[in-house]
Structure 1
């Protein structure tokens, strides 16, 4: 894609001035969405995206030439960041590396990241101050290659049923691709290993209740018509698109929070850069109350211990 040489513009964000270079560079050619359009989208869902990212180490998925060009998975905050940008220091023991990752606490941080060609925001499920103790349990309903979204919706209903029996409040959203995520706030009392064990125990219970779900670990062994309940998204340094994050799809889909009563009829393509601002203006942030509903993982850890005692092993973290 040809680069743009349009004059820079400045955006005022809560008292900060963010300079947007090449604002007319087209990032989504099929729908004609430019960099500055992307900025305005994130401004329109400001409270929601900040709530989703607040104080979490965040990987930026950058597309310097738009979504048809190279994707850069950026762990470290890019050079040249203004002094008011914030970071969180994280370690990667397997690789003996560290990084100072983006740590959003205000909307200007998001806008500056978009200026640096970020389209997607992928946060950790832990926060600065307790990076090694997640406070977000993530249920990822990932359809196989031959699985339709109607099947995802049915499996999501089963997951909702199990959550209600546990007394856990789940906050669903579309992934912005083909699946559904459900987030549950948990106290930061456990490490990644235990949160992952709890997520696996939950996934196995969903699998027991419907033959449309699977926890089969190896992709080659999975039935492509089923929904993989991907417990491994709770492993350390695994990230998924935040609520309100745009995804790099031709139609500019968004990972969109939905109400439980919407799940049965929604489609991933319902929620895009074009449709979300008006929806957000009416509904606000559907995940705003997530911090008010923490769930103690103890029952799920008991299920995990039961499964392990019966000889059901916990798969390795990497497939």
Structure 2
């Protein structure tokens, strides 16, 4: 059984030990980022990303020839995968194919070797599959929505989470929007967490129907922000903090301090190229993430 990760931002950096084949393969051609470059990025951010990906079932977006070629999601173990990638068995699906997890930096570099450009973990660990330890609210702007409106939506989600007694943290998605994440003590089950997240989203949509929607239907999303609560159910995933995105620009999903939210930092502002510099120059805005976890109240 994979244990819950306790790595902190002050952990001693680990050295890469996994050998890469074809290290010069371009994963982001326009940016000149190679497989070796992605491995270097992950080694640099390892102490920060580890708590969000180690010991969790993972879904990967794999792009064997980089972002300009074929891409596919992988959530099950596969023949020939790195020995540093760990098969884990869902206790509810004992006869099914094993899912995948990692335990250390070697596992993460094994994902790089497997052309995993995006990492999407469950909101629960493989030590406790049925009790999530975070809530993720994904704010996805429709066509015609400006960035200032997305920031306002994040602040509204923050207020609602805090009114419910939860702490709220924010990060860029690396795409178009923001994620607001609340750490939980893993006591409530998936059904309770799902109901809570849905109530937050539907409450915002009911109070401001001209600004927000809580349904996926694209026809209703033009000029509005989708408050996507569906990440909060068993088997669902959301892109990890510090994970790159397999899109032009090589943006990463970057944790922010609330006071950093503003027009100067857009949704794709931080990239594989500039994120390590930011992390070396600033403190960790999510350093209190785990210490802020509380049980979800009924």
Give TM-score scaled by structure 2 length: 0.88
Q: Which residue of 2 aligns with 1:291?
A: 290
Q: Secondary structure at the match of 1:232?
A: coil
Map of 1:130-141 to 2, 5 A cutoff?
130-141=128-139
Question: Does the C-alpha gap of structure 1 residues 97 and 230 become closer, same or farther in structure 2, counting only changes over 3 Å?
Answer: farther
- What is the match of residue 18 of structure 2? 18
Q: Does 1:32 align with 2:32?
A: yes
Answer with 207-216 or 271-280: which moved more. 207-216
- Residue 73 of structure 1 is matched in structure 2 by 73
Contact 1:28/1:34 (<8 A) preserved: yes
Distance (whole Å) between structure 2 residues aligned to residue 162 and residue 269 of structure 1: 26
Shift of 1:166: 2.9
Task: Return the index of the structure with the highest Cα Rg.
Answer: 1
In the TM superposition, what is the alpha-carbon distance from 1:212 to its structure 2 partner?
A: 5.3
Structure 2: how far apart are the matches of 1:133 and 1:168?
16
Tell me which residue corresponds to 1:240: 238
Larger mean Cα displacement after TM superposition, 202-211 or 159-168:
202-211
Higher helix residue share: 1
The CA distance in 2 between the partners of 1:233 and 1:205, in whole Å, is 17
Shift of the 123–24 alpha-carbon distance from structure 1 to 2, 3 Å rule, reads: same
Looking at structure 2, the residues matched to 91 and 30 of structure 1 have their Cα atoms a distance apart, in angstroms, of 43
1:105, CA displacement in angstroms?
2.5
User: How much does 1:117 deviate?
Assistant: 0.8
Shift of 1:178: 0.3
Q: Alignment RMSD, CA only?
A: 2.2
Is the contact between residue 84 and residue 110 of structure 2 (CA under 8 Å) also seen in structure 1?
A: no
The answer as to whether partners of 2:56 and 2:121 remain within 8 angstroms in 1 is yes
Shift of 1:131: 0.7
Structure 1 unaligned segments of length 5 or more: list them: 1-12, 302-319
Q: Which residue of 2 aligns with 1:315?
A: none
Match of 1:194, SS state, is helix
In the alignment, structure 2 segments of 5+ residues that lack a partner are 1-12
1:172-206 superposed Cα distances (whole Å, 9 cap, x missing partner) = 10110001111111122222222110001122333
State how far apart, in whole Å, the 1-side matches of 2:254 and 2:288 are: 16
1:9-158 superposed matches below 5 A: 14=14, 17-90=17-90, 98-158=96-156
- CA distance in 1 between counterparts of 2:110 and 2:289 reads 26
2: distance between equivalents of 1:273 and 1:224? 30
What is the Cα deviation at residue 218 of structure 1? 4.8
Aligned to 1:184: 182
The whole-number CA distance in structure 2 between the counterparts of 1:50 and 1:122 is 13
Cα deviation digits, residues 124-162 of structure 1 (max 9, x gap): 011012112211111111111332222111111111222
In 2, are the aligned partners of 1:141 and 1:180 still within 8 Å (CA)?
Answer: yes
Cα gap change, 1:140 to 1:82, in 2 (>3 Å): closer
- On the 8 A contact 1:162/1:206 being kept in 2, the answer is no
Are 1:51 and 1:288, in contact at CA under 8 Å, matched by a contact in 2? no
Structure-2 change in CA distance of 1:14 and 1:44 (3 Å):
closer
* Structure 1 counterpart SS, 2:52: helix
For 1:154-233, what aligned pairs fall within 5 Å after superposition? 154-211=152-209, 213-233=211-231
The size of the alignment, in residue pairs, is 285
Bigger mean CA deviation after superposition, 215-224 or 148-157: 215-224
TM-score (norm 1): 0.82
Match of 2:5 in 1: none
SS in 2 for 1:269: coil
